[in-house]
């Protein structure tokens, strides 16, 4: 076992020096001979019929090779529900939707030609909220929903604007509400917004004359891209090669299929030449998908002691113009719909609703951040109604092993200790959560807490793989299908190999790029389970390699395999260490002094597939879709100036049960990063619209995210209740810390002003306005 730099130590990431020196080549940097460049034209209208697209002038402009419009491709693409044409066809359904693409010899020429395309629209009234989309006489945004193909777990409702409805029916909620001592009701709202990853999306597609299709993309899911290209375009899977280089941030936004389909069609139009399609920042914000919005109604029923008896909720998720991942986001929120509390009786309808707004894909938290905002606000309202401390209420109701989830699966021994998480958060904030501290100048100091949990909502056959090969010096190369999106998983996996095989971590070389023709299959780098699943596959590959090393050594040393140990870059007999070989002598086959060579190279392979997962019953939601649950608690301390509404988050704390910390610095970085993202999400992000549905903050000068100087003091504590089927007991932690932030911040601000703050983003003006309402 390598204690020097194996698990539990913090290391510089393997790719960091190249990243900070500008030596990494991202997709958008690539320029090759023969490459052509594409530019997009987007719609200024949120909802309009396309009457005419005049490309005459553009066609004749310098360097133009091809122009692509909706008429060039008659079918739809889609991840779970095939509802989206690659560019708008006959109708635009959201502001920023791509209506045409130009391919030219330079990007400047393509952009100039795109400017010269004239589009005639017939503007229609846009639908700008889920409730509006669900009203009786609402316009049906997808009239052909009945003909869209979709995967089985999704239940669209043709003739309405509901792309998916997930029902949770557990116990007898009607009875629970009838006999409750207290019931409360809360309504919350979140607008759609964007991931704002540092790197805008890019896809480069080429169709070789041999029929091989090469796609290079800023994707978190190269194998999903491969699978869908086969499904939509009928290309043999073995002839699709998808490459994912290092990615400049994904946060879920790059986890589906976006530009790849259009890039392929553009390449097809120019005889298969490589076409590079890169989003401008504006196109990345509103043209490509962002994160989902929500309107939610939550009712909780409790007894006199504060034990929750039942919950009743409606989640109206705002999917925007297309469904993409959003149909699964709303489903994931249903699976977790109560937050990390034991609730025996539940009625929940979680809907994915179409509107004429920029559409949604996966985002950090995947439905849980939105659901959590609704539940945590309701929990504080309940605490208020019961005159109970908000932390005490949560401790009283936190889930424990053997409790059933909303989908009636049973939480096993690998369940984190959320009660302890709540206690730690309380301690980090100095207790007294419900108190408001008066300072001078009409300023107050307040605290807010929330609970969080998440299970990945993945297909039941989610998998990962790992291949280990070796070099002449005994070092090894690890090849997995995990994409490096800035989360540091590649380094974490190297630490696992280092720990398992006793090889120093700088001698574990990790292949950075993913290439679907040589990397083992991996569902997607998403759902915070890269380290867990690829980690398990990696451990299996290590075991396989170790077995082969022992096989060769056994022959050479004339010692049974069971008497051998692999560690410290050697294979040897533990009680007589002189009897042994250096790994370098063995890993590429062994050569005897007389020249005879035996065995050949060591190649370790490992795989992992999720076990025993099932889908949900369409009527009750019962099932076991949840691979593992990560639980935690968060809290904030905020100072609010009630004169101006301006506030500063002084402290943000998180206690999360991760099973095992593989790399402390990496783990803390993920948690703090998630908290920062959650803070920006709650306080300043979200698209703003005018009444014509146009996004009015679609540039970074107006769409504000957290900056240095905005951050609070962070405190992070990890608990380690082992995940029994995780590598070294580890479970997912990459995204969870974003989940509890909106609830914690909103609860603190609500306390400060004396009224519920239930709308995101929580700007100082909103704080001031709400406190004025209270005063009057």
Partner 1 sequence: MIAYNLDYFKPETTQEAYECMKTLKEDKVNALYYSGGTEVITNLRKGAFKADAVIDLKGIGEMSEILVDDEYIVVGANVPLNVMIEHSELQSLKSILNKIADHTVRNALTIGGNICGKLPFREAVLPLLALNSLVKWVDENGINESLLRDVFDKRLKLPPNAFLYQIMIPRKVGGKMMSKRMEAHTEVDYPVLHVVMSVSDTEVFVGLSGFASFPVYQLIPRNEYDEWSDPVGSIAGLFEKDAKSDERASKEYRVHLLKNQIALFTGGAYDSL
Q: Using the rule CB under 8 A, give the single segment among 541-549, 614-622, 696-704, 746-754 that binds partner 1.
A: 696-704
Can you tell me which of 519, 697, 736, 770 binds partner 1, judged by CB under 8 A? Answer: 697
Can you tell me which of 650, 699, 713, 724 binds partner 1, judged by CB under 8 A? Answer: 699
Asked whether position 769 contacts partner 1 by CB under 8 A, the answer is yes
Site string for partner 1, 653-692 (x = CB under 8 A): ------------------------------xx---x----
What are the two backbone dihedrals, phi and then psi, of residue 156, each rounded to the nearest 5 degrees? Answer: -70, 155
Can you tell me which of 105, 115, 303, 622 binds partner 1, judged by CB under 8 A? Answer: 115
Q: What's the closest the beta carbon of residue 283 comes to partner 1, in angstroms? A: 12
Q: Using the rule CB under 8 A, give the single segment among 110-118, 188-196, 391-399, 489-497 that binds partner 1.
A: 110-118
Q: Using the rule CB under 8 A, give the single segment among 320-328, 458-466, 599-607, 640-648 that binds partner 1.
A: 640-648
Size of the site for partner 1 (CB under 8 A): 31
Q: What's the closest the beta carbon of residue 768 comes to partner 1, in angstroms? A: 7
**Would you call 202 helix, strand, or coil by DSSP?**
strand
Tokens of 409: 């699966």
Q: What's the closest the beta carbon of residue 775 comes to partner 1, in angstroms? A: 6
Q: Report the C-alpha gap between 116 and 110 in whole angstroms.
A: 10
What are the two backbone dihedrals, phi and then psi, of residue 715, each rounded to the nearest 5 degrees? Answer: -130, 130
Asked whether position 611 contacts partner 1 by CB under 8 A, the answer is no
Q: What letter would DSSP give residue 208?
A: -
Dihedral, CA of residue 595, residue 599, residue 600 and residue 602, to nearest 10? -140
Can you tell me which of 212, 704, 714, 715 binds partner 1, judged by CB under 8 A? Answer: 704
Q: Using the rule CB under 8 A, give the single segment among 44-52, 199-207, 617-625, 641-649 that binds partner 1.
A: 641-649
Can you tell me which of 174, 437, 644, 724 binds partner 1, judged by CB under 8 A? Answer: 644
**Would you call 136 helix, strand, or coil by DSSP?**
coil
Closer CB to partner 1, 555 or 772, in the complex = 772
Q: What's the closest the beta carbon of residue 529 comes to partner 1, in angstroms? A: 33
Closer CB to partner 1, 350 or 683, in the complex = 683
Closer CB to partner 1, 6 or 290, in the complex = 290
Tokens of 300: 């909780």
- With beta carbons less than 8 A apart as the criterion, state whether 667 and 476 touch: no
What are the two backbone dihedrals, phi and then psi, of residue 152, each rounded to the nearest 5 degrees? Answer: -60, -45
Nearest of 409, 352, 443, 427 to residue 627 by alpha carbon: 409
Nearest of 187, 225, 186, 42 to residue 121 by alpha carbon: 42
Q: What's the closest the beta carbon of residue 638 comes to partner 1, in angstroms? A: 13
What are the two backbone dihedrals, phi and then psi, of residue 447, each rounded to the nearest 5 degrees? Answer: -125, 155
Q: Please report the sign of the dihedral spanned by the C-alpha atoms of residue 411, residue 412, residue 414, residue 420.
A: positive
Q: Using the rule CB under 8 A, give the single segment among 524-532, 543-551, 562-570, 768-776 that binds partner 1.
A: 768-776
Closer CB to partner 1, 439 or 699, in the complex = 699
Tokens of 479: 């090849």
Q: What's the closest the beta carbon of residue 278 comes to partner 1, in angstroms? A: 11
Can you tell me which of 16, 696, 755, 774 binds partner 1, judged by CB under 8 A? Answer: 696
Q: Report the C-alpha gap between 354 and 339 in whole angstroms.
A: 25
Can you tell me which of 112, 257, 428, 662 binds partner 1, judged by CB under 8 A? Answer: 112
Which region, left, alpha or beta, applies to residue 320 given φ > 0 means left and ψ of -120 to 50 means alpha?
left
Interface with partner 1 in residues 705-764 (CB under 8 A): 706-707, 709-710, 761, 763-764
- With beta carbons less than 8 A apart as the criterion, state whether 151 and 80 touch: yes
Can you tell me which of 75, 144, 157, 702 binds partner 1, judged by CB under 8 A? Answer: 702
Which region, left, alpha or beta, applies to residue 259 given φ > 0 means left and ψ of -120 to 50 means alpha?
alpha
Q: What's the closest the beta carbon of residue 60 comes to partner 1, in angstroms? A: 16
Closer CB to partner 1, 173 or 358, in the complex = 358
Asked whether position 22 contacts partner 1 by CB under 8 A, the answer is no
Nearest of 244, 249, 202, 222 to residue 29 by alpha carbon: 202
Asked whether position 646 contacts partner 1 by CB under 8 A, the answer is yes
Q: What's the closest the beta carbon of residue 30 comes to partner 1, in angstroms? A: 17
Q: What letter would DSSP give residue 505?
A: G
Closer CB to partner 1, 516 or 682, in the complex = 682
- With beta carbons less than 8 A apart as the criterion, state whether 449 and 429 touch: yes
Q: Which residues pair with 351 in a beta bridge?
A: 165, 316
Q: What's the closest the beta carbon of residue 746 comes to partner 1, in angstroms? A: 15
Tokens of 152: 């089985």
* Residue 776 exposed, middle or buried by CB count within 10 Å (0-12, 13-18, 19+): exposed
Asked whether position 108 contacts partner 1 by CB under 8 A, the answer is yes
Closer CB to partner 1, 39 or 275, in the complex = 39
Closer CB to partner 1, 276 or 394, in the complex = 276
Dihedral, CA of residue 578, residue 584, residue 587 and residue 588, to nearest 10? -130
Q: Report the C-alpha gap between 425 and 609 in whole angstroms.
A: 35
Asked whether position 643 contacts partner 1 by CB under 8 A, the answer is yes
**Would you call 370 helix, strand, or coil by DSSP?**
helix
Tokens of 720: 């380690």
**Residue whose pair of structure tokens reads 């299908």 in the numeric block:** 481
Asked whether position 42 contacts partner 1 by CB under 8 A, the answer is no
Q: What letter would DSSP give residue 667?
A: H
Q: What's the closest the beta carbon of residue 672 comes to partner 1, in angstroms? A: 18
Q: What's the closest the beta carbon of residue 270 comes to partner 1, in angstroms? A: 20
Q: Report the C-alpha gap between 94 and 87 in whole angstroms.
A: 12
Asked whether position 132 contacts partner 1 by CB under 8 A, the answer is no
- With beta carbons less than 8 A apart as the criterion, state whether 745 and 682 touch: yes
Nearest of 685, 722, 724 to residue 707 by alpha carbon: 685
Asked whether position 601 contacts partner 1 by CB under 8 A, the answer is no
Closer CB to partner 1, 318 or 683, in the complex = 683
Binding site for partner 1 (CB under 8 A): 107-108, 111-112, 115, 643-646, 683-684, 688, 696-697, 699, 701-702, 704, 706-707, 709-710, 761, 763-765, 768-769, 772, 775-776
């Amino acid at each position: 076992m390598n204690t020097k730099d194996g698990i539990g130590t913090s290391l510089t990431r393997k790719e960091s020096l190249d990243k900070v020196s500008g030596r990494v080549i991202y997709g958008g940097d690539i320029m090759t001979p023969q490459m052509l460049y594409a530019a997009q034209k987007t719609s200024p209208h949120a909802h309009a019929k396309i009457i005419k697209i005049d490309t005459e002038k553009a066609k004749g402009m310098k360097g133009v090779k091809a122009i692509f419009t909706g008429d060039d491709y008659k079918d739809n693409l889609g991840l779970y529900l095939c509802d989206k044409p690659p560019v708008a066809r006959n109708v635009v359904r959201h502001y920023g939707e791509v209506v045409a693409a130009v391919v030219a010899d330079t990007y400047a020429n393509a952009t100039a030609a795109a400017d010269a395309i004239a589009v005639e629209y017939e503007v229609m009234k846009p639908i700008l909220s889920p409730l509006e989309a669900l009203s009786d006489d609402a316009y049906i945004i997808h009239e052909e929903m009945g003909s869209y193909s979709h995967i089985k777990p999704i239940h669209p409702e043709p003739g309405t604007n509901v792309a998916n409805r997930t029902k949770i029916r557990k116990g007898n909620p009607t009875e629970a509400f009838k006999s409750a001592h207290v019931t409360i009701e809360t309504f919350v709202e979140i607008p759609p917004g964007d991931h704002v990853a540092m790197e805008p999306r890019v896809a480069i597609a080429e169709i070789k004359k041999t029929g091989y299709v090469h796609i290079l993309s800023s994707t978190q899911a190269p194998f999903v891209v491969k699978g869908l290209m086969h499904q939509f375009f009928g290309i043999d899977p073995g002839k699709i090669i998808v490459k994912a280089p290092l990615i400049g941030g994904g946060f879920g936004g790059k986890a589906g299929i976006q530009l790849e389909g259009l890039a392929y069609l553009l390449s097809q139009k120019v005889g298969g030449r490589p076409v590079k399609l890169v989003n401008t920042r504006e196109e990345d914000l509103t043209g490509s998908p962002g994160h989902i919005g929500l309107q939610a109604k939550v009712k909780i029923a409790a007894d006199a002691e504060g034990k929750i008896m039942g919950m009743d909720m409606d989640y109206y998720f705002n999917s925007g113009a297309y469904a993409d991942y959003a149909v699964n986001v709303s489903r994931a929120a249903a699976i977790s719909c109560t937050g990390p509390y034991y609730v025996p009786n539940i009625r929940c309808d979680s809907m994915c609703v179409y509107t004429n707004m920029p559409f949604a894909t996966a985002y950090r938290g995947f439905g849980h951040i939105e659901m959590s905002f609704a539940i945590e606000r309701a929990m504080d309202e309940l605490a208020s109604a019961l005159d109970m401390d908000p932390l005490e209420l949560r401790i009283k109701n936190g889930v424990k092993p053997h409790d059933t989830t909303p989908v009636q699966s049973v939480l096993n021994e690998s369940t984190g200790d959320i009660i302890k998480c709540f206690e730690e958060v309380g301690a980090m904030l100095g207790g007294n959560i419900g108190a408001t501290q008066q300072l001078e100048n009409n300023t107050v100091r307040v605290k807010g807490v929330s609970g969080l949990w998440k299970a990945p909502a993945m297909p039941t056959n989610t998998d990962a793989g790992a291949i280990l090969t070796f070099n002449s010096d005994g070092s090894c190369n690890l090849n997995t299908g995990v994409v490096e999106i800035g989360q540091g998983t590649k380094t974490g996996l190297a630490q696992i190999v280092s720990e398992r095989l006793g090889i120093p971590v700088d001698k574990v070389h990790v292949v950075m790029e993913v290439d679907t023709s040589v990397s083992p299959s991996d569902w997607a780098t998403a759902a915070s389970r890269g380290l867990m699943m690829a980690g398990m596959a990696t451990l299996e590959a290590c075991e396989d390699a170790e077995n082969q090393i022992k096989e060769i050594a056994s022959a050479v040393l004339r010692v049974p395999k069971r008497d051998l140990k692999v560690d410290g870059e050697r294979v040897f007999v533990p009680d007589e260490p002189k009897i042994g070989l250096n790994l370098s002598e063995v890993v590429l086959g062994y050569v005897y002094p007389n020249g005879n060579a035996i065995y050949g190279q060591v190649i370790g392979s490992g795989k992992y597939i999720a076990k025993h997962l099932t889908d949900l019953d369409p009527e009750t939601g019962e099932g076991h879709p949840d691979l593992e649950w990560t639980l935690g608690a968060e809290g904030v301390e905020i100072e609010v100036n009630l004169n101006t509404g301006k506030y500063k988050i002084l402290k943000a704390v998180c206690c999360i049960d991760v099973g095992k910390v593989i790399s402390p610095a990496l783990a803390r970085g993920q948690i703090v990063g998630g908290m920062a993202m959650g803070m920006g999400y709650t306080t300043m992000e979200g698209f703003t619209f005018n009444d014509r549905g146009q996004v009015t903050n679609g540039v970074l000068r107006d769409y504000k995210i957290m900056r240095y100087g905005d951050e609070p003091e962070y405190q992070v504590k990890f608990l380690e209740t082992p995940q029994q089927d995780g590598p070294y007991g580890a479970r997912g932690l990459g995204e969870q810390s974003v989940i509890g932030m909106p609830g914690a911040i909103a609860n603190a601000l609500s306390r400060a002003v004396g009224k519920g703050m239930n709308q995101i983003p929580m700007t100082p003006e909103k704080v001031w306005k709400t406190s004025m309402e209270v005063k009057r």
